[in-house]
Amino acid sequence: MIELEGLTKYYGDTLAVDHLTFTVLTGIVTGFLGPNGAGKSTTMRMMLDLDNPTEGTVRIDGKHYRQLDDPLTYVGALLDAKAVHGGRSAFNHLLCLAQSNGIPRARVGEVLDTVGLSSVAGKRSKGFSLGMSQRLGIAAALLGDPKILLFDEPVNGLDPEGIHWIRNLMKNLAAQGRTVFVSSHLMSEMALTAEHLIVIGQGRLIADTSMADFIHRNSRSYVRMRSPEQERLLDVLHGEGIEAVAVGNGSLEIDGVPAERLGGLAARHQLVLHELSPQQASLEEAFMRLTAGSVEYHAHDGEPVTARTGPPEPAQGGWGADWRKKGG
């Protein structure tokens, strides 16, 4: 478990991290989402004691990072994949790390195998592609078999196969009971990996919520129907008091009625359907809306409302965060 309490970081006049308070739980993948410059990397560096907070604390199972015995066996991290001594082979890079942290040599071969770099273990990492460097960075993070893993934008620059591999790896690590904290600036990436979501913008906490709840609250779901007998379909729907909106290309969009009911109706009226498909509006849009700061959330119901003047209501319920337009 990682606990942040009022964590704040100024770089000169720049407020990079602004009183962040949240907890990262064990046994799930927690996504750490925010646009570029939101303060994700700074927060992660402070978690690892690589940067000093201006204010506030980070505790890892109740301790400061520097109070942990053998930190590499406790917390593994991938921060900057290119921060590797390029002249060393992948094997030697990991061996040095292992030896200076009391980790058995045999573990090096194991992690190289896990990340799929065994065949290039003897090659200098200088010549590695970004994807291979990411894999090597992940091997280093896994070396001490840590309970807690931090990955900062691990999918950046990876090909689809690599992205798929990392997603599964993170899920498997969490399923083994580890704490997995992974940052991204892409909502779509988080939606496929994370079970819990922390969203920040301009250093501030915007949302602290389960992914399911985030999706539920932020994506409009509707059903798309298409029929060569659209007029008759509209009559049937209207007869049932169901509102349908015709969008170009002969499709209808229906909110708030399950596809099962619509399919049943069509069948009873012997209507030919060419399409009956549940749809979800893009989460990416919801995320951009959230971080743009142009709307704010009622903490108690999570529904987006247009910006109001005056202070926001106190945080309650699922969001765990009051948030308001920065500086407004």
List residues near ligand ADP by CB under 6 A: 11, 14, 16, 34, 36-42
Minimum distance from residue 182 beta carbon to ligand ADP (Å): 13
Question: Which residue, 44 or 90, is less far from ligand ADP as judged by CB?
Answer: 44
Binds 135: which of ligand ADP, Mg ion, none (CB < 5-8 Å by kind)? none
Minimum distance from residue 306 beta carbon to Mg ion (Å): 31
| Chain residue at closest Cβ approach to Mg ion | 41
Minimum distance from residue 36 beta carbon to Mg ion (Å): 7
Find the binding residues for Mg ion in span 142-181 (CB under 5 A).
none
Question: Which residue, 200 or 266, is less far from Mg ion as judged by CB?
Answer: 200
Question: Which residue, 35 or 109, is less far from ligand ADP as judged by CB?
Answer: 35
Q: Which residues contact 310 (CB under 8 A, 6 or more apart)?
A: none
Minimum distance from residue 14 beta carbon to ligand ADP (Å): 5
Backbone torsions φ then ψ of 2, nearest 5 degrees:
-120, 130
- The order of strands in the sheet holding 14-24 is 14-24, 2-11, 55-60
Minimum distance from residue 43 beta carbon to ligand ADP (Å): 7
Minimum distance from residue 276 beta carbon to ligand ADP (Å): 41
Binds 147: which of Mg ion, ligand ADP, none (CB < 5-8 Å by kind)? none
- Taking alpha carbons only, the member of 136, 116, 118 closest to residue 126 is 136
Binds 52: which of Mg ion, ligand ADP, none (CB < 5-8 Å by kind)? none
Contacting range for Mg ion; rule: CB under 5 A; set: 37-45, 69-77, 225-233, 260-268? 37-45
Binds 109: which of ligand ADP, Mg ion, none (CB < 5-8 Å by kind)? none
Q: Are 267 and 280 in contact (CB under 8 A)?
A: no
Q: Are 73 and 24 in contact (CB under 8 A)?
A: no
Minimum distance from residue 37 beta carbon to ligand ADP (Å): 4
- The order of strands in the sheet holding 275-280 is 245-247, 251-255, 221-226, 275-280
Q: Are 149 and 181 in contact (CB under 8 A)?
A: yes
Residue of 41, 43, 134, 202 that binds Mg ion (CB under 5 A): 41
Question: Which residue, 15 or 276, is less far from ligand ADP as judged by CB?
Answer: 15
Q: Which residues bind Mg ion (CB under 5 A)?
A: 40-41
